[in-house]
Homo-oligomer: A and B are copies of this chain.
Amino acid sequence: MAVNPPKLSAPLPVPGFRIGTASCGVKAPELKGQRTDLTIIAADVDCHAAGTFTQNRLRAACVDLGEQAVHEHGGAIRGIVANSGNANAGTGIREAEWAQMMIATAADALGVQPGQMLSASTGVIGTPFPIARIQSGIREAAACASQWQDAAHAIRTTDTFAKWASRRVGDVTITGIAKGSGMIHPNMATMLGFIATDAPLTQAQLQPMLRRAVRQSFNAISVDGDTSTNDTVYLLASGLGLGGAAMQDTSEFETALTGLCIELAQMIVRDGEGVSKFVTIRIEGAASVEDAYQVGRTIAVSPLVKTAFAGSDANWGRIVAAAGNAGIDFEADRISLACDDVMMMENGQLHPEYRDEAGMAVFARPEFSITLNLGMGEAAATVWTGDLTHEYITINAEYRT
């Protein structure tokens, strides 16, 4: 029941990268051959790499290893190996062993050093990792006979559609894929996102650009307020794009990167577990951008706001009540609230022309915007969220069955 999933054109290949996928039955041996669940993104040359990682205190071993690899070999990364179906998390010391075996097998199959490979896992937490099946899948995928869209399919868990986006910036290309549907919450690093470019940029240039882009995209969405143990975004740059020339203007690249991340992040919300409404929450008039995000996120995770969306019920009092729980200082008599073009409150007062029918008409739309002005300053932020529906309960009460 994804909300207006975009019709995607084929993703652009990126010079220097090859893609492999395989079906190894990660979740259960009998699923082998039924759906792909293993992905390799192989680089032909040493890449500069940047990453953002989950803020969950109990993060998976593969996240720790990946952060370490970016830190130690961030100018010589040769690829990413990823599986869906099992997060390889919450199982103790064997986690790190399994993650290292996965990396070593991929490095061996691609003829690179283990320190040059990044890995990612997504799926159920707390279940032993089927390393033998995964190793067999890695050897198969290493032939790299697939395309980016195949990789976007193979990293899915409860996602109902595969998510990718591409941009051209002058002569260079950026292509990214992402997965995520539940356990999605701002203030994270993010779910899984892998982005590749042939731009000639160094790690020192890539890392701050990625951080800023993630803040405005993957960190600005929420499906259910839960942050995963495995969230990771990687950005690899092969540097093959300009034939050895340096990039003059990186700001155009950063704008394209940010736009691509927002596009992927919005797809995650549209495909959020059980989501039937796509809602843009715009916070304006905040004292700081951080305040604006904090208020936006607090509204985006409120179960009462999200069930009002689900019920197409313009119970907008819940929106201002949720804003009041953000822990941010503002005054009731300065706030203004509108949903699409319908004003509910102005300077803290009920808008004299507001009629419930007009609000109900907005809330009945599959996509609409909420604009809350705090009247405290000039800062603004936008977050995206969905509703909380019966289908979310069904999906998550029965996830393992």
With beta carbons under 8 angstroms apart, the residue of B89, B323, B401 that contacts A58 is B323
A71 at the interface (CB under 8 A from B): no
A90 at the interface (CB under 8 A from B): yes
Bound form: Cα–Cα A307–B229 in Å: 18
- Chain B residue numbers with a CB within 8 Å of A327 are 57
A325 touches B226 (CB 8 A): yes
- Distance in angstroms from A240 CB to nearest chain B CB is 39
A224 touches B303 (CB 8 A): yes
- Complex interface: stretch among A8-16, A76-84, A124-132, A149-157: A124-132
A5 at the interface (CB under 8 A from B): no
Q: Which residue of B lies closest to A303 (CB)?
A: B224
Cβ < 8 Å to B, chain A residues 297-325: 301-304, 307-308, 310-311, 313, 315-318, 320-325
Q: Which residue of B lies closest to A127 (CB)?
A: B317
Bound form: Cα–Cα A183–B228 in Å: 25
- Chain B residue numbers with a CB within 8 Å of A247 are none
Q: Which residue of B lies closest to A344 (CB)?
A: B126
- Distance in angstroms from A178 CB to nearest chain B CB is 20
Bound form: Cα–Cα A400–B349 in Å: 21
A320 touches B183 (CB 8 A): no
Taken together, the copies of this chain in the complex come to 2
A333 at the interface (CB under 8 A from B): yes
| Chief secondary structure at chain A's binding surface | loop
A292 at the interface (CB under 8 A from B): no
- Complex interface: stretch among A106-114, A163-171, A195-203, A386-394: A386-394
B307 touches A392 (CB 8 A): yes
B59 touches A320 (CB 8 A): no
With A56-B325, A59-B324, A323-B58 already in contact, the answer to whether A183 and B304 are too (CB < 8 A) is yes
With A225-B303, A226-B303, A329-B57 already in contact, the answer to whether A320 and B90 are too (CB < 8 A) is yes
A313 touches B225 (CB 8 A): no
- Chain B residue numbers with a CB within 8 Å of A357 are none
B225 touches A302 (CB 8 A): yes
With beta carbons under 8 angstroms apart, the residue of B303, B328, B397 that contacts A57 is B328
- Chain B residue numbers with a CB within 8 Å of A316 are 126
B321 touches A229 (CB 8 A): yes
Top 6 closest pairs, chain A to chain B, by CB: A311-B397, A125-B317, A126-B317, A58-B324, A307-B396, A92-B349
Between-chain CB contacts (< 8 Å), 29 pairs: A56-B325, A57-B330, A58-B321, A58-B323, A58-B332, A89-B317, A90-B321, A91-B349, A92-B332, A92-B350, A93-B349, A124-B317, A125-B320, A126-B350, A183-B304, A224-B304, A225-B303, A226-B303, A226-B318, A226-B322, A227-B324, A227-B325, A229-B321, A229-B324, A307-B392, A308-B396, A311-B397, A311-B401, A390-B393
Name 11 extra pairs, CB < 8 A, besides A92-B333, A390-B390.
Answer: A91-B349, A92-B348, A124-B317, A125-B318, A126-B315, A185-B325, A226-B322, A303-B396, A311-B396, A311-B399, A390-B394
